[in-house]
Amino acid sequence: MTVPSALPTIDVSETERRLREDPGRPILVDVRENAEFLEVRAPGAVLIPMSEFAARAGDLPKDRPLLVVCHLGSRSAAAAGFLIRSGWTDVVNVAGGMDAWQRAGLPTRSGPLDPGEGELG
Residues annotated as catalytic (active site), given as ranges: 70
Q: How far apart are CA 38 and CA 24, in angstroms?
A: 27
Q: Judge contact between 67 and 106, C-beta under 8 A.
A: no
- The DSSP H or E segment spanning 53 is helix 50-56
DSSP string covering 64-115, please? S-EEEE-SSSHHHHHHHHHHHHTT--SEEEETTHHHHHHHTT---B-SSPPT
